[in-house]
Amino acid sequence: MPLEPAEAHRRLLQNLGESDPLVWQQRWRQRLAGCVVPELIDASLLWGLALPLLSWLELRRATTPQGPRGFPVVALNGPVGSGKSSLAKVLQALAPAIGCRLAVASIDDAYLDWDARCAAMAGNPFGVNRVPPGSHDPDLLVEAIDAWRLGAALRLPRFDKTLRGGDGDRAGWSSGPADALLLEGWMVGCSPVGDEALSTWISQQRLLGAFSSEELNWLPHWNQNLRAYGPLWDRCTSLWLLQPTRSELVRRWRFQAEAKQRRHQIGLLAIDKKGSALVSQQVDAASSQQGDGEACLSQTWLSPRALDGLVRATQASLPAQLYQHGLVGRAIGVACLDAQRRCRWAGPGGDQSSVSSSLMG
């Protein structure tokens, strides 16, 4: 029997030790009154998943030994374009309300350097040089987390997707104090499938035709590469999920995100050239060299074909039926999003039928 939305959320709060949802809501309303809440996500997602996640983090820190060894790592999984980065910014802004300094990293921050990444992705069926398992160096984040939990400042690698004409490249490191870490990414938490189960699934898909023969031939390769991520997932303390109500939303979301980035960059060109903004200075310099600031900025944009390749890489290198849906049973909280990224259903993980039923609605 599927859980109704209100009942599902009540169950999630109960699992967090909150017996009365109204008391929980009032407590958070009082906290939010003293905060600047970034308007980056819908209110339904704020109350459905963001604040429950922070409540879990508060409970975790109150019930575990204080000190670096107890620093939690929260894993956030969601498809490309689902708003993980926006949600992460909101969580980071509100974490001080529970006395927590929250750092944020993406699995994409651990991409291999350019040459190694191109070599690792050579010949793949999507024509991409990043995204699938094997394009990252997860040990970078493992080493960062281990050092942090031994008392060092949290030093995280960073990746800039606007470099190399939109293909991206490493962009140094960030460092600072933190009490908790949020690790987000489309493949966070995914584990390899057994060889027999994978072989059976591939045989079935060859008959259905949803995947090309080349994509299916590469699946054992991606599955094997996924094993290298296990030590990083093992260091995560909890898992939270964003899921689309319909699979076709993923492509739409990714293209919307790209369009938003383009509008933002074009907007930078309207900055008064007499201003002191660094971006304005960079645009002016690029314009004087190339004669067209907008054309220069466009070099950071991916073509529609390249975007399609990236989206397809997430859908066909780790098919949801094999990898993503299996995360529900391990998740503390799950939020199902509609086309506008509004939370239609939020509840505890572990009940696969309830989440699947919500997706069908």
Dihedral-angle region of residue 145 (phi above 0 means left; psi in -120 to 50 means alpha; beta otherwise): alpha
What are the start-end ranges of the E strands in 66-160? 73-77, 102-106, 154-160
Q: What is the pTM of this model?
A: 0.88
Pairwise CA distance, residues 77 & 55, whole Å? 18
Whether the predicted pLDDT of 37 surpasses 60: yes
The contacts found for 168-176 with CB under 8 angstroms, 24 or more apart, are 168/108, 168/111, 168/130, 169/113, 169/114, 170/111, 170/113, 170/114, 176/103
Q: Give CA angle at 50 (262, 89), nearest 5°.
A: 35
What's the token pair of residue 332? 């503390």
Would you call 196 exposed, middle or buried from its count of C-beta atoms within 10 A (0-12, 13-18, 19+)?
exposed
Best mean pLDDT range from 1-5, 107-111, 307-311:
107-111
Structural domains in the chain plus CATH codes: 5-255+307-360 (3.40.50.300)
Say what the pLDDT of residue 267 is: 58
Could you give the CA distance from residue 335 to residue 202 in angstroms, rounded to a whole number? 29
Q: Report the pLDDT averaged over residues 139-148.
A: 98
- Taking the CA atoms of 118, 122, 125 and 127 in sequence, report the sign of the dihedral they define: positive
Residue 10 reports pLDDT greater than 80 = yes
Q: Which of 297, 238, 234 is nearest to 265 (CA)?
A: 297
Average pLDDT value for residue range 313-326: 92
Count of all residues that appear for the chain in the document = 361
39-88 pLDDT tens trace: 999 999 999 999 999 999 999 999 988 788 999 999 999 999 999 999 99
